[in-house]
């Protein structure tokens, strides 16, 4: 008897990746409320019980996929200045999150016990940018999250329209001038 492989790229990781891919595909093809576990299982080539055993229910799986998608695929743009890098990051984040799939990601993640990873993921991205400019005044990760990421997300979830890019730029200037 062997224990299940948990190494990255091992069988377990490949099953997970095929399930995540199935969810991403189905979410592009149809409305989120109509996606079911048996559909995902069929697309991923696994049994529904594999999904239930690993995630418990559909909302936990959707949350897991949403969190994975919040990890940036590429490093953030290196524009040569701290404010330029933060602007580039924030404009892309605003753009992605205010789309319908982005908004659904924000909602899906809330069903997860890991919803606090959102701030951790954003904080990690901010830290990478801050580390590029050790000689510039450092507003701190929390300040950047509060002044830049929070208004983007709040406006998407709870107001009529997403944050305007002009106001986003002003908020970044405020964050960097403190």
Task: Pick the closer one to a second copy by CB: 110 or 127.
Answer: 110
- Asked if 26 and 17 touch (Cβ cutoff 8 Å), the reply is no
Cβ burial, residue 168 (10 Å; 0-12/13-18/19+): buried
Of 91, 107, 132, 138, which lies in the binding site for a second copy, with binding defined by CB under 8 A? 107
> Is residue 12 involved in binding a second copy (CB under 8 A)?
no
- Nearest-angstrom CA–CA distance, 85 and 83: 5
- Asked if 104 and 27 touch (Cβ cutoff 8 Å), the reply is yes
Of 115, 132, 133, 169, which lies in the binding site for a second copy, with binding defined by CB under 8 A? 115
Residue where the block lists tokens 């929390």: 142
> Is residue 15 involved in binding a second copy (CB under 8 A)?
no
Task: Pick the closer one to a second copy by CB: 27 or 109.
Answer: 109
Binding string to a second copy for residues 131 to 160, with x set by CB under 8 A, is what? -----------x--xxx-xxx-xxx-xxxx
DSSP string, 6-32: -STTSHHHHHHHHHHHHHHHHHHHS-G
- The closest alpha carbon to 61, from 95, 26, 94, belongs to 26
Binding string to a second copy for residues 67 to 106, with x set by CB under 8 A, is what? ----------------------------------------
Residues that bind a second copy (CB under 8 A): 107, 109-110, 115-116, 118-120, 142, 145-147, 149-151, 153-155, 157-160, 163, 167, 171, 174, 178
């Amino acid at each position: 008897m062997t224990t299940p492989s948990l190494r990255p790229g091992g069988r377990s990781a490949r099953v997970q990746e095929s399930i995540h891919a199935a969810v991403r595909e189905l979410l592009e093809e149809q409305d989120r409320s109509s996606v079911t576990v048996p559909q995902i299982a069929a697309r991923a080539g696994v049994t529904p019980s594999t999904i239930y055993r690993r995630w418990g229910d559909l909302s936990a799986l959707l949350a897991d996929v949403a969190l994975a998608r919040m990890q940036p695929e590429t490093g953030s743009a290196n524009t040569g200045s701290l404010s330029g890098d933060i602007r580039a990051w924030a404009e892309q984040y605003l753009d992605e999150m205010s789309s319908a799939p982005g908004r659904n990601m924000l909602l899906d993640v809330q069903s997860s016990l890991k919803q606090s990873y959102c701030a951790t993921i954003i904080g990690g991205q901010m830290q990478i940018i801050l580390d590029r400019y050790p000689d510039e005044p450092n507003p701190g990760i929390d300040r950047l999250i509060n002044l830049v990421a929070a208004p983007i997300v709040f406006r998407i979830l709870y107001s009529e329209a997403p944050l305007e890019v002009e106001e986003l730029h002003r908020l970044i200037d405020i964050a960097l001038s403190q």
